[in-house]
Amino acid sequence: MRRMKPLAAHPLTATQIAAITALLGSAHLRTPQDLAALDPGIDPHNFGACLLVRPGSTAEVAAILAYCHAERIAVVPQGGRTGLSGGAITQRGQIAVSLERLDRIEVLDADQRSAVVGAGVKLGVLAARAATVGLSPGIDLGARDSATLGGLVSTNAGGNEAFRYGTMRERVLGLECVLADGTVITELGQVRKRNEGLAVERLLIGAEGTLGIVTRVALELVPARSPVATAMVALTSLTQAVALARHLRTPALVALEIMSGNHALAVVRSLGLIELAPLAAHPWLVLVEVEATSDEQAESLLVDLLGSASEQELLTDALLAQSETQRHAMWRVREDWAVDRERPGGLWYDISVPLSAMADYVARVIARVEALGASLEVFVIGHLADGNLHVTVNAPYPVSERYEAIAPLVTDELTALGGSFSAEHGIGVEKQATLLRLVSPAKLALMRSVKRAYDPHGIMNPGKVLPTESTAPSAG
């Protein structure tokens, strides 16, 4: 072991900027002055880098990484900058590599039900193209119009359809990626069955840019949705919601999203969705969608399912969407974050828990958090069908600095329950302390070994997922 050459903590030298400009051309470089005029995405710190580069090909990505590897310059890959764990934030002395120009849908194969796309293709764009041949990416989430396939792969994103089709790890057939030293690995097979030794490229799924840069993705597609019927259902308790989930779990179910009443009430008030206000007055709400071969059949199926649920006292009230506008309003209640606007500086925990343990777990979390102070309030939204909840804690004043203090109250019993402290948003910087606390030393040691093998100088997204190492194996 020997001490690594420290990563550049100062702005790049004029020589380094000239070398990078020569690799890409000045049209595709952004200085801090340029960045100040652009939208940094979900986190203002995404644009803290001293340079943002926009390569237009895998070869250019490889050239940048080879140079940064030699010069020990830290690199942060960026897609749509919608990530919620701080994985794309940058600081002085780092280069942000935006994959936005790798935006080609190269293959859309209706027979094989697969696509090969550049890492910068936005999810919504792929979904629209796939729909033209009756297919869908099999993943959907609120940030669909900004999030990129490279970002989705790198965070192992989940979303609304993961209970049917899995997270990105299940959607990916193959990848092309560039490792820290510029080595290109191209494994873009579009078949499910491919046993060709260790699938080394697949370690980049969920690696959050710490092992290399994803440049192309081969994805398995699924049949596009049939017509759907949508309803918002009011419930008295989470126990009732879990029982309802069991009742609705048929092949026709395409969405099952949960909200606590206080979240729904905040959105309804903020957006003036008056007709949903009576439902939002209940302790819990579930948004349910089923599909069938026609609108009429979907509606009749949903009416039957909710009718039998009502007979078994699995719900308190329900409203069927009668138009696309009403359906859109119901989804806004689920996807809007009015609580954050009303009480900024809240805390987000992204957990998953088996349905059988969910109600008691949430009750314990609420009791533990509220015991810390009457002004702290817990709000819950999430993907009920796969037990993924976003537990947020807000107060009339910012509480961001209490993330670490409150985290154990939310996360530390999850492993024993068979759940996870990190469901779908990744570790980034936000969950790093929790990762170090809850993951076994053996797993952490193996993660560090993998990091050194893929990125011996530690240039790839340093400080994300794992803390930056002060020592590393000899670079030779």
Q: Does 178 bind ligand FAD (CB under 6 A)?
A: no
For strands 212-220 and 114-118, give the pairing. Answer: antiparallel
Q: Does 309 bind ligand FAD (CB under 6 A)?
A: no
Q: Which of 16, 155, 260, 434 forms a contact with ligand FAD (CB under 6 A)? A: 155
Least distance in angstroms from the C-beta of 277 to ligand FAD = 23
Q: Which of 17, 42, 281, 320 forms a contact with ligand FAD (CB under 6 A)? A: 42
Least distance in angstroms from the C-beta of 144 to ligand FAD = 8
Least distance in angstroms from the C-beta of 365 to ligand FAD = 20
Least distance in angstroms from the C-beta of 139 to ligand FAD = 8
Q: Interface with ligand FAD by CB under 6 A: which range of 75-83, 300-308, 324-332, 364-372? A: 75-83
Q: Does 81 bind ligand FAD (CB under 6 A)?
A: yes
C-alpha to C-alpha distance for 116 and 472, rounded to whole angstroms: 36
Residues 372-431 that bind ligand FAD (CB under 6 A): 424-425
Amino acid identity for residue 200 in this structure:
V
Q: Interface with ligand FAD by CB under 6 A: which range of 19-27, 135-143, 364-372, 400-408? A: 135-143
C-alpha to C-alpha distance for 193 and 329, rounded to whole angstroms: 42
Q: Which of 16, 58, 78, 230 forms a contact with ligand FAD (CB under 6 A)? A: 78
The dihedrals phi and psi of 171, each to the nearest 5 degrees, come to -80, -25
**Please, are residues 74 and 67 in contact by the beta-carbon 8 Å criterion?**
no
Q: Which of 118, 151, 174, 463 forms a contact with ligand FAD (CB under 6 A)? A: 151
Closest CA to 315 of 239, 263, 240: 240
Of the two residues 42 and 199, which places its CB atom closer to ligand FAD in the complex?
42
Q: Does 458 bind ligand FAD (CB under 6 A)?
A: no
Residue position matching structure tokens 């690995």: 185
Residues 183-202 that bind ligand FAD (CB under 6 A): none
Q: Does 254 bind ligand FAD (CB under 6 A)?
A: no
Q: Which of 121, 213, 306, 358 forms a contact with ligand FAD (CB under 6 A)? A: 213
Q: Using only the alpha carbons of the chain, give its radius of gyration.
A: 23
Q: Does 150 bind ligand FAD (CB under 6 A)?
A: yes
C-alpha to C-alpha distance for 249 and 231, rounded to whole angstroms: 15
**Please, are residues 421 and 438 in contact by the beta-carbon 8 Å criterion?**
yes
Q: Does 258 bind ligand FAD (CB under 6 A)?
A: no
CB atoms within 10 A of CB 6: 11
Residues 355-374 that bind ligand FAD (CB under 6 A): none
Q: Interface with ligand FAD by CB under 6 A: which range of 81-89, 104-112, 179-187, 243-251? A: 81-89
Residue position matching structure tokens 């994805």: 219
Closest CA to 141 of 157, 156, 130: 157
Q: Which residues touch 296 (CB under 8 Å, ≥6 apart)?
A: none
Closest CA to 141 of 348, 331, 385: 331
Tokens of 279: 């439902």
Binding-residue total with ligand FAD (CB under 6 A) = 36
Q: Which of 16, 82, 114, 136 forms a contact with ligand FAD (CB under 6 A)? A: 82
Least distance in angstroms from the C-beta of 159 to ligand FAD = 4
Tokens of 399: 């509480």
Q: Helices (DSSP H) in 227-337: which residue ranges?
A: 238-248, 261-271, 277-280, 295-311, 324-335
Closest CA to 121 of 218, 202, 23: 218
C-alpha to C-alpha distance for 77 and 460, rounded to whole angstroms: 8
Least distance in angstroms from the C-beta of 42 to ligand FAD = 5
Q: Which of 118, 137, 138, 159 forms a contact with ligand FAD (CB under 6 A)? A: 159
Of the two residues 99 and 180, which places its CB atom closer to ligand FAD in the complex?
99
Q: Does 209 bind ligand FAD (CB under 6 A)?
A: yes
Chain residue whose CB lies nearest ligand FAD: 151
Q: Does 50 bind ligand FAD (CB under 6 A)?
A: no
Q: Supply the DSSP symbol for 113.
A: T
Q: Interface with ligand FAD by CB under 6 A: which range of 124-132, 138-146, 395-403, 442-450? A: 138-146
**Please, are residues 75 and 461 in contact by the beta-carbon 8 Å criterion?**
yes
**Please, are residues 53 and 6 in contact by the beta-carbon 8 Å criterion?**
no
C-alpha to C-alpha distance for 99 and 170, rounded to whole angstroms: 23
Of the two residues 210 and 240, which places its CB atom closer to ligand FAD in the complex?
210
Q: Report the alpha-carbon angle 368-374-379, nearest 5.
A: 65
Q: Does 77 bind ligand FAD (CB under 6 A)?
A: yes
Least distance in angstroms from the C-beta of 154 to ligand FAD = 3
Footprint of ligand FAD (CB under 6 A): 42, 76-84, 87-88, 99, 119, 141-143, 146-148, 150-152, 154-155, 157-159, 208-209, 213-214, 424-425, 461, 464
